[in-house]
Amino acid sequence: MKKTITILSIFALLASGCNQSATNQVVADTETISTIIENVDFVEVQDENEEQILETPEIVLIDSLETAFFRMIRIDSATFFASKEEVSPQRIEFEAITDLEQIKEILDDRAIWNTSFSEPLISKVILHDGDTFASGWGLLSVDAYFPQLDILLTRAHFYFNVALNLTTGATTEVVGNPFLYVFSPSKRFLFNQIHSIEGGLIFFIQEKIDGQYQTIIPLSLNLWIRARLRFEQISNAFWENDTILNIATIMYHAGDYEKLYYRIILWQPK
């Protein structure tokens, strides 16, 4: 909700401080303004020589955050890397086929290709149940096919990822990027992320339920809604155990970037 705070009216009221009713009004207005500031996501600043209102986004670097699903604590780099040295690697290297001709041969008639360009692009994919998947963002260039997972990783506009599980029909926000999967020690939980055309970098925690990983915490959305915190990159991530996840992030602002380290503690799962 946008609200404009008029500072001049406060000074006018203060100038009439000899009048008791005016003084009372100042207190009331000050309380109202305090309430407004607490309930807006940004403050609008208006140049007296300009009619246009300039919006100044708030940059938030939280030290801690507690929700119904997890607790998040900011830590320093020394703590992050010291903890990482105590755990074993948690990435599973799935077979990834990146040769385009080999992918075309494997997919066979499950993919419909557009060959009008120097690099063949996919226009449609036929899923195992016969349904057709067509990207809403145009033709897709192919990055990799993961035969163990039956997942096709592609890019829209040659930048944002579009991932597709050919068996289940699940797409980007559920599939994620298999190159970046980080499993908890028991493999019960999965830290997943992908650069999605719909929302830039999205990252989420999934739990294996009935044999399939399902999203239980959409972390990027949760942090943005609760703390206006948006990371541009997750450069490193590891689980200490099944309830503690550590992430190293990069946030860009004011023409520069800052590295941030966080420990995410899941509430004890049942």
Q: SS3 letters for the chain?
A: CCCCCCHHHHHHHHHCCCCHHHHHHHHHHHHHHHHHHHHCCCEEEECCCCCCEEEECCCCCCCEEECCCEEEEEECHHHHHHHHHCCCCCCCCCCCECCHHHHHHHHHHHEEEECCCCCCEEEEEECCCCCEECCCCCCEEEEEEECCCCEEEEEECCCEEEEEECCCCCEHHHHCCHHHCEECCCCCEEEEEEEECCCEEEEEEEEEECCEEEEEECHHHHHHHHHCCCCCEEEEEEECCCCEEEEEEEEEECCEEEEEEEEEEECCCC
**246 and 234 in contact (C-beta within 8 Å)?**
no
User: Which residues on adjacent β-strands are paired with residue 56?
Assistant: 43
Torsion over CA: 16, 19, 20, 21 (sign): negative
Q: What is the pLDDT of residue 42?
A: 32
Q: What is the pLDDT of residue 236?
A: 94
Please calculate the CA angle 67-73-79 and round it to the nearest 5 degrees.
155
- pTM of the prediction? 0.73
**83 and 240 in contact (C-beta within 8 Å)?**
yes
**218 and 224 in contact (C-beta within 8 Å)?**
no
Determine how many CB atoms are found less than 10 A away from the CB of residue 72: 22
Q: What is the pLDDT of residue 165?
A: 93
Chain centre distance of CA 268:
23
Q: Which of 245, 244, 251 is nearest to 228 (CA)?
A: 251
Q: Which two tokens stand for residue 62?
A: 């939280």
Tens digit of each residue's pLDDT, the chain (270 residues): 433 333 333 333 333 444 444 434 433 443 433 333 333 333 333 334 444 433 444 556 789 999 989 999 999 999 999 999 998 877 788 999 999 999 999 998 888 888 888 788 888 888 877 788 877 667 888 999 999 999 999 988 767 899 999 998 899 899 999 999 999 999 999 999 999 877 689 999 999 999 999 999 999 999 988 888 888 889 999 999 999 999 999 988 777 788 999 999 998 665
Task: Give the residue carrying structure tokens 């192919």.
Answer: 142
Look up residue 156 and give its amino acid: A
Determine how many CB atoms are found less than 10 A away from the CB of residue 120: 18
